[in-house]
Amino acid sequence: MKKSVVASEKPVKAKEFDKELFKRSVEYNVRTLYRKNLEEADAQQIFQAVSYAIKDRIVENWMETQKAYEKEDPKMVYYMSMEFLMGRALGNNLINLKAYKPVAEALEELGLDLNLIEDQEPDAALGNGGLGRLAACFLDSLATLGYPAYGCGIRYRYGMFKQEIRDGYQVEVPDNWLMNGNPFELRRPEYAKIVKFGGYVSVHTDENGRNVFTQEGYQSVKAVPFDFPIVGYGNGIVNTLRIWDAEPVECFQLDSFDKGDYQKAVEQENLARNIVEVLYPNDNHYAGKELRLKQQYFFISASVQEAVEKYMRKHDDIHKFYEKVTFQLNDTHPTVAIAELMRVLMDDYYLTWEEAWEITTKTCAYTNHTIMAEALEKWPIELFSRLLPRIYQIVEEINRRFILDIQQKYSNVPGVDVQEKIRKMAIIYDGQVKMAHMAIVAGYSVNGVARLHTEILKTQELKDFYEMFPERFNNKTNGITQRRFLLHANPLLADWVTAHVGDDWITDLPQISRLKVYADDKKAQQEFMNIKYQNKVRLAKYILEHNGIEVDPRSIFDVQVKRLHEYKRQLLNILHVMYLYNELKEHPELDFYPRTFIFGAKAAAGYRNAKLTIKLINSVADVVNNDPAINGKIKVVFIENYNVSNAEIIFAAADVSEQISTASKEASGTGNMKFMLNGALTLGTMDGANVEIVEEVGEENAFIFGLSAQEVINYENHGGYDPMEIFNNDQDVRKVLMQLINGTYAPGDPELFRPLYNSLLNTQCTAKADTYFILKDFKSYAEAQKKVEAAYRDEDNWAKSAILNVACSGKFTSDRTIQQYVDEIWHLDKVVLK
Ligand code: BZD
């Protein structure tokens, strides 16, 4: 680890929270913002007034931090990401300011409930799922550990859609999250940048004999940054999330425009209006939309320009850029940063290709989040070169030189087919620009997000690249912030943990392992189960309010919340529920421990099978929940609009954590870690970070089932799996599948679920059957579920396992992940404000 830098001349005093001052500022804010007193203000107005009062405090630290960075001039990481799934800010800021409890008390004295005030804040849902939430956890950890960092992204006007369930179907409702204004953001017009699209590139030779490339006939957009404070936990550090809004450039005077100018002005204005309008709601799926590429270049060009300008404000030698700046590319979505940095260095700073390449390849690092072929970004040359003509020229040259490298390296190697290598590895091939290939070729680091995932990258998906650049590949197992997902989300458990082992875990999660000694302690077990029960009551209340379904908090809460995707196999879960229901119907005398199956998931708007799976879950819920014959032993709940805020309530209340992806498909998963931290037991496949979770907690404290990643890969490569065999030989499975097409769950429309049936059995021979091995894993899943039930009946032992899950979750803090990025990739110095 590198040395710590102590900056800031004035020691920043640990400010005592002044309750009276805070109360006065809330009252003052309500008056000046709304011309009301507290009694007259509505809940939203009070939320705004409280937030502005807190922001005032944050701003002081923000300025101190930025001053310290200015003075110390440390190396910075720019975390480039299309998504930051931040969730709500108020509660988290209070937690990290260590002001949550005093503020709650002060508000209570004013007759206000902090929880209700927090509920007024819309989630900042500028992300789809794991990848966007990971970015948010990383920002929290960077600030808490004191590392200088910027998050760079897009200020979408509409974030992830709100999900409503109507008649069992998902309906997407626009998420107008900025409707009431955002109290924590700061518009920074002084840092606006111009971003150019389209047109053509002209070349001329300047007086020094240099080729000068000029983009002409382009459209431009003004990128205006909004800054969000990222408050570190208890250390006075405030970093910045900078997200870019688009505005039209003021480009023409009304009295002098001709028709062409007018047309262009209108087009430019439309471009500005459209570009940041909405987050694409696809996860792990590449749709190839032109506007998406515009979004990518828009925020990357603005961010790269700003990073270079900021550097040049303090330094005169651009050649040493990489000593002060590193770009982490969150998946391939920001990969145009490579070509954009090359462009700026060559066209604006007149560096040679070689000079620019050296800087770029020492600046950019790439994180891979998926091996799903359908998620890989491949832009058609036609689109790419039309939209980004200068950038395309640069990509072309990167590709040309890379192919020379391949030829040089492999031409004389016996047994290597060089053409084959080129075909598989080229950045431009088959009329497409392959972003992952560019990211690997130009990056100094390529990392996967869990050990198994990185191994699969090295040995399967990116094998050729690993052979060529083995030193670039490394693993960084994901993590989550315990500050949001335990301290804020689960105050009862957080207090209990602190009472037993002290509060070091808040910034040093491995300390939580000291809980292990209480795993066998009967009193501790009871206290733990009691807290879990209270959290289940809290969730039951939420479900009653939001779904109108009554659930019994004494039943097992078995939870699968995550994006809906076939590889995540929500279908396996609900088919198993259908099977259990059949069992109960056939054997009413069955000794069956009551279970509440809880789902939460958004499906991409155009993903038919995913949306149909939501409908199936709701249809099964309708039938099962309303069947008096089973006496409430099974309840099925689909929680509408799963998001960061209700996730916090859900994790705290879970007994069983469903992590049942087809082995090899889930790069890491991070929900699995949030459940573990809150004392749920994992029911999962050996996939992603589940492998490491089980390694930490022990297989006896989890329920593992299903094919291994290697078995899945073998089937995929060599065939040999026929779901029809299972269908024909397993009566239980057959019965459940027949119920998909005989109207059991869709009396008015028996054909409704046929596409799901077909996806499992390939009755029309149009596609491969059961691509995600649902039938193959069904039996072993059902057996694992039986073990869950048996284990839950032994309450003491369950409590022991649950406590051990909490105690063994230390590895999965994003503080650890970030420290590894710092030590092994970024090489940053800590800044400490005294
Ligand atoms: O990233 C997810 C993976 O599926 C998880 O296994 C992993 O834990 C997390 C964090 O590393 N990937 C995504 O969430 N991906 C997307 O959301 C996404 C969004 C747009 C385009 C492509 C993918």
Indicate the top mutation candidate among 133, 284, 372 to test ligand 1's pocket, ranked by most ligand atoms within 8 A of CB: 284
> What number is the ipTM of this complex?
0.99
Looking at residue 285, its pLDDT comes to: 83
Residue 130 near ligand 1, beta carbon < 6 Å: yes
Same domain assignment for residues 205 and 170:
yes
Ligand 1 lined by 449 (C-beta under 6 Å): yes
Regarding whether 470 and 534 lie in a shared domain, the answer is no
φ/ψ of 162, rounded to 5, equals -85, 140
Q: Do 82 and 111 reside in the same domain of the chain?
A: no
Out of 343, 369, 437, 811, the active site residue is 369
Mean pLDDT, range 196-209, rounded to an integer: 94
pLDDT of residue 252: 53
Residue 670 a catalytic site member: yes
Residue among 483, 468, 536, 29 at smallest CA distance from 233:
483
Residue 821's Cα: distance from chain center in Å? 17
Confidence of residue 765 (pLDDT cuts 50, 70, 90): low
- With bands split at pLDDT 50, 70 and 90, how would you rate the model's confidence at 2? very low
Q: Are residues 65 and 208 both part of a single domain?
A: no
Judge if the beta carbon of residue 131 lies within 6 A of ligand 1: yes
Q: How many structural domains does the chain have?
A: 3
Does the pLDDT value for residue 429 go beyond 70?
yes
370 lines ligand 1 (CB under 6 A): yes
Q: What is the largest CA-CA distance in the chain?
A: 93
Are 99 and 169 in a shared domain?
no
231 DSSP β-pair partners: 238
pLDDT of 261 above 90 = no
Least confident of 251-260, 352-361, 596-605: 251-260
Let me know if residue 322 belongs to a domain: yes
Supply the DSSP string of 746-808, one letter for each residue.
Answer: -TT-TTTTHHHHHHHH-TTSSS-S-TT-HHHHHHHHHHHHHHHHHHHHSHHHHHHHHHHHHHT
State pLDDT tens for residues 687-709: 999 999 999 999 999 999 999 99
**Which residue type occupies 672?**
N
For ligand 1, whether the C-beta of 153 sits within 6 Å is no
Q: Is 134 in the pocket of ligand 1 (CB under 6 A)?
A: yes
Residues 686 and 554 in one domain: yes
Domain range for 520: 485-701+772-812
Q: Of residues 286 and 146, which shows the higher confidence score? A: 146
Catalytic option among 23, 242, 488, 562: 562
**Whether residue 355 has pLDDT greater than 70:** yes
- Indicate whether 738 belongs to any domain: no
**Mean pLDDT (whole number) for 788-805:** 98
Residue 814 Cβ contacting ligand 1 at under 6 Å: no
**12 pLDDT higher than 60:** no
- Beta carbons within 8 Å of 786's beta carbon, 6+ residues apart: none
Q: What is the pLDDT of residue 288?
A: 84
Please check the confidence at residue 14 and state whether its pLDDT lies above 90.
no
Name the strands in the sheet holding 656-659, side by side, starting at the edge strand that comes first in the sequence. 634-638, 595-600, 556-561, 656-659, 681-684, 703-704
Are 148 and 243 in the same domain?
A: yes
Determine the distance separating the centroid of ligand 1 and the alpha carbon of 300, expressed in angstroms. 19
Residues 199 and 108 in one domain: no
Please indicate, yes or no, if residue 710 is contained in any of the structural domains.
no
CB 223 within 8 A of CB 230: no
Strand duo 432-434 + 378-380: pairing: antiparallel
**Are 587 and 553 members of one domain?**
yes
Task: Point out the ligand 1 atom lying closest to the alpha carbon of residue 666.
Answer: 6
Look at residue 255 and tell me whether its pLDDT is greater than 70.
no
**568 tagged catalytic:** yes
CB 484 within 8 A of CB 140: yes
**562 a catalytic residue:** yes
Q: What residue type is assigned to position 556 of the chain?
A: I
* β-pair type (473-475, 445-448): parallel
Which of 83, 85, 131, 372 has the most ligand 1 atoms within 8 A of CB, as the residue to mutate?
131
204, part of any domain:
yes
Q: In ligand 1, which atom is closest to the CA atom of 282?
A: 20
Mutate to test the pocket of ligand 1, among 79, 369, 564, 602 (most ligand atoms within 8 A of CB): 369
User: Is 725 inside a domain boundary?
Assistant: no
- Is 716 part of a structural domain of the chain? no
Helix (H, G, I), strand (E, B) or coil at 752: coil
The answer, yes or no, to whether residue 254 has pLDDT greater than 70, is: no
Is there a single domain that holds both residue 503 and residue 437?
no
For ligand 1, is residue 283 a contact (CB within 6 Å)? yes
For 450, left (φ over 0), alpha (ψ -120 to 50), or beta?
beta
Cα–Cα dist 452/692, whole Å: 9
The CATH number linked to 590 is 3.40.50.2000
Please indicate, yes or no, whether residues 499 and 561 belong to a single structural domain of this protein: yes
Q: Are residues 82 and 29 in the same domain?
A: no
Report the distance separating Cα 250 and Cα 265, nearest Å.
Answer: 9
Q: Looking at this protein, which amino acid is placed at residue 52?
A: Y
- Distance separating alpha carbons of residues 608 and 610, to the nearest angstrom: 5
Q: 294 in a domain, yes or no?
A: yes
Q: Do the domain assignments include residue 439?
A: yes
